[in-house]
Amino acid sequence: MRDVSSVTRSTPVATRPRPKTPSSAAGPLKRYRSSVGRKVVMAVTGAILFLFVITHMLGDLKAFLGREDFNHYSYWLRSVGAPALPHRVFLSSLEAGLVVAVILHIWAAVSLARQARRARPVRYAARPKVHENGYATYVMRYGGVVILLFVIWHLLDLTFGAVNPKGENATPYDKVIADFDPARWYITLFYIVAVILVGLHLRHGLFSAVQTLGWGRQGRYPAIRLVADVTAALVVLGFVAVPVGVTIGVLK
Q: Interface mask (CB under 8 A) for another protein, residues 117-136, using x and -?
A: -xxxxxxxxxxxxxxxxx-x
Distance CA 172, CA 178 (A): 10
Q: Does residue 98 contact residue 155 with C-beta atoms inside 8 Å?
A: no
- Closer residue to another protein (CB): 209 or 242: 209
Question: What, of another protein, ligand HEM, none, does residue 39 touch, CB below 5 to 8 Å by kind?
Answer: another protein
Q: Is 65 exposed, middle or buried (0-12, 13-18, 19+ CB in 10 A)?
A: exposed
Decide: 155 and 175 in contact? Cβ < 8 Å: no
Choose between 158 and 163: whose C-beta lies nearer to ligand HEM. 158
Q: 199 and 232 in contact (C-beta within 8 Å)?
A: yes
CB of 88 to another protein, least distance (A): 35
Site string for another protein, 45-84 (x = CB under 8 A): ----------------------------------------
CB of 218 to another protein, least distance (A): 5
CB of 92 to another protein, least distance (A): 31
CB of residue 180 to ligand HEM, shortest distance in Å: 8
Comparing C-alpha atoms, which of 234, 228, 180, 182 is closest to residue 207? 228
Site membership for another protein, residue 11 (CB under 8 A) = yes
**Which CB atom, from 130 or from 237, has the smaller least distance to another protein?**
130
- Of 26 and 139, the one with the shorter C-beta distance to ligand HEM is 139
Positions touching ligand HEM (CB under 6 A) are: 53, 56, 60, 74, 77, 91, 95, 147, 151, 154-155, 158-159, 172, 176, 191, 195, 198, 239, 242-243
Quick check: 242 and 66 in contact, CB under 8 A?
Answer: no
Question: Is residue 24 part of the contact set for another protein (CB under 8 A)?
Answer: yes
Size of the site for another protein (CB under 8 A): 63
Cα(155)–Cα(146) distance, integer angstroms:
14
Q: How many CA atoms lie within 13 A of 17 on its CB side?
A: 5
Q: Which is closer to ligand HEM, CB of 80 or CB of 112?
A: 80
Window 166 to 225, contacts with another protein (CB under 8 A): 204, 207-208, 211-218, 221
- The residues that touch another protein, with contacts defined as CB under 8 A, are 1-3, 6-11, 16-20, 22-24, 28, 31-32, 34-40, 112, 115-116, 118-134, 136-138, 140, 204, 207-208, 211-218, 221
